[in-house]
């Protein structure tokens, strides 16, 4: 449980920092972007980032759980379906899904904060 929480916290940090930096770079590339356009463009990048991050997390969790999976199946004589239906495995699947939802929500929240904080709204209408 602690390993999953630490992994999720690390990934949450990665996702939020990346989204904030994405907003900064997009604005630097085109200072005339409105906040709405800036948010929309950063979200397009964020969706791809979160998809790859979740895939990485799921593969890491599956890889870390593989030895326990094989040990449980061989010592207890369970089939794969029986093992996946145990309470311990179901709890881990639920925790992983909850962490995934948190990561998915972090992208628009971090992007919105970064877009809002990057410059005051009055600078959108400034003249060159």
Range of the domain at 57: 2-119
User: Domain for residue 128, yes or no?
Assistant: no
Within a domain: 69 = yes
Helix, strand, coil share of the chain (percent; to 5): 85, 0, 15
CA torsion, ordered 29, 30, 36, 41, to nearest 10 deg: -40
For 18-52, the pLDDT digits (tens) are: 999 999 999 999 999 999 999 999 999 999 988 88
CA dist 58 and 23 (Å) reads: 27
pLDDT for the residue 7: 66
Domain count across the chain: 1
Assess if residue 127 is contained within a domain: no
For the whole model, what pTM was predicted?
A: 0.70
Q: Are 82 and 71 in contact (CB under 8 A)?
A: no
* pLDDT for residue 38: 94
Q: Is 95 a domain residue?
A: yes
Give the pLDDT of residue 72: 75
Residue segments in the chain with a per-residue pLDDT below the cut of 50: 120-128
The answer to whether residue 54 sits within a structural domain is: yes
Confirm whether 124 is domain-assigned: no
Go through the chain and tell me how many residues it has: 128
């Amino acid at each position: 449980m602690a390993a999953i929480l630490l992994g999720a916290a690390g990934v949450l940090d990665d996702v939020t920092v990346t989204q904030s930096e994405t907003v900064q770079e997009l604005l630097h590339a085109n200072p005339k972007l409105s906040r709405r356009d800036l948010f929309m463009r950063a979200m397009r990048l964020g969706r791809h980032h979160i998809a790859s991050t979740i895939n990485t997390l799921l593969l890491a969790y599956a890889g870390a759980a593989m030895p326990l999976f094989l040990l449980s199946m061989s010592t207890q004589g369970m089939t794969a379906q029986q093992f996946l239906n145990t309470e311990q495995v179901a709890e881990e699947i639920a925790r992983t899904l909850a962490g995934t939802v948190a990561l998915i929500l972090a992208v628009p929240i971090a992007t919105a904060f970064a877009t809002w904080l990057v410059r005051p709204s009055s600078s959108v209408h400034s003249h060159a």
